[in-house]
Amino acid sequence: MKQQRADKLLLRRRVLIIIIPAVLLALALSLFLMRDKIRFGGKTGSEPLSLPVLYENSVITACGDKIAIADSFGLMLKNFSGKTVSELKVPLAFPALVCNDNFAVAYSVGERYLLKVSSGESLQLSVKGRISDISISANGMLAVTSSETGYRGAVTIYDTNLSPVYTFLSAKGFPLCAKVSHNGKVFAAVTVSDSNSAVHLFSLDSEEPLGVYSLSEAVIRDVFFIGNNELCCISENEATFIDLGGNVLASYAFNDKKLDKYCGSDDGFVCILLSDDNSHYLYSLGTGANVLGSLTYTAPINSLSAKSSYILVADSEKLMLYNRNLSLVKENKPEREIARAQIGGSLDAIVTYAGGGIYRIGL
């Protein structure tokens, strides 16, 4: 009998020796995997809420007073209490995300579908070609850049109901991106070929182009509408302002400075961040390349975004909110290191901290 008890005790010890390390290993592994979970918080200093989304696999963007998250599992729209408002569980191998104040659109680069979520709906739309870029206009129209059999690519414009209303088929240049004007009447498509890059301008009620702006010395990276009748074309060498006919109105040369970041606003200006070996230079440019304001920084700038008449700039230590003339409106210094910041729908900051954690900070 004593031998049986001894055998049982020995067996229990052996089981514990096996189980305890396994439990500790599983706990350590779970802590490692959870290290960068998205954590939502309200005001600065509040305890964040952990959500089951890994930061390194996610694209995160402000969507009005909510936040949109696209990852390999699909698209979610959440409020800042952590509640899911709307979601679509569709795989996104290489997620990309664009938003306005009312809805979010996600897609996987190279796939043939897009996802749209808002507070009242969620839907999936299949497209003909493989998507490379999507933009949303101020009035909610989409410009979808994709591949097209027999052409270098295509740009399809969708109305607010996601019905296609116009398609531009490019035979000579590969389409990079496209934008619809604020009033939804005109769109611009950027293409690149062996000989040049160009901006093609179209009215949505005519098959004939309004005009073309061509550049052979550099590649046009992006285009923004400055109002409804003027555009700003961003290349690595300069910001060129054109009319709807593709005629050059003015330009702002970067000279020997490197283009780091840029953004556009729906209030008639663009911001460009340039740098050299010593400093970083921020410019706000209005119609006709008019310099509305300029600033110089010594610390690297990790984030630049604009909304309405305001610009949010962030380095690793502080958030700086400016008006369109780059006059400081407010400055905020969180206690943690800032990895990324974006201006939100209520002129607050959506801040991602280094090491994980997302907060909405009032400005």
User: Is 165 strand, coil or helix?
Assistant: strand
Name which of 118, 112, 120 is nearest 140 in CA terms.
118
Range name among 18-22, 210-214, 272-276 with the lowest pLDDT average: 18-22
Query: CA-CA distance, 56 to 129, in Å (whole number)?
Result: 28
- Measured CA to CA in angstroms, residue 300 lies from 7, 69, 144, 233, 264 at distances of 67, 26, 33, 25, 20
The topology under which CATH files domain 258-362 is Methylamine Dehydrogenase; Chain H (2.130.10)
Alpha carbon distance 115, 127 (integer Å): 11
- What is the mean pLDDT of the segment spanning 300-326? 96
Length of the chain, please?
363
Taking the CA atoms of the chain, what radius of gyration do you get in angstroms? 25
The letter for the amino acid at 201 is L
Give the residue extent of every domain in the chain.
258-362
The pTM is what?
A: 0.84
- Per the prediction, the chain carries an average pLDDT of 86
Which of the two residues, 53 and 230, has the higher pLDDT score? 230
The percent of residues in the chain predicted with pLDDT above 90, rounded, is: 72
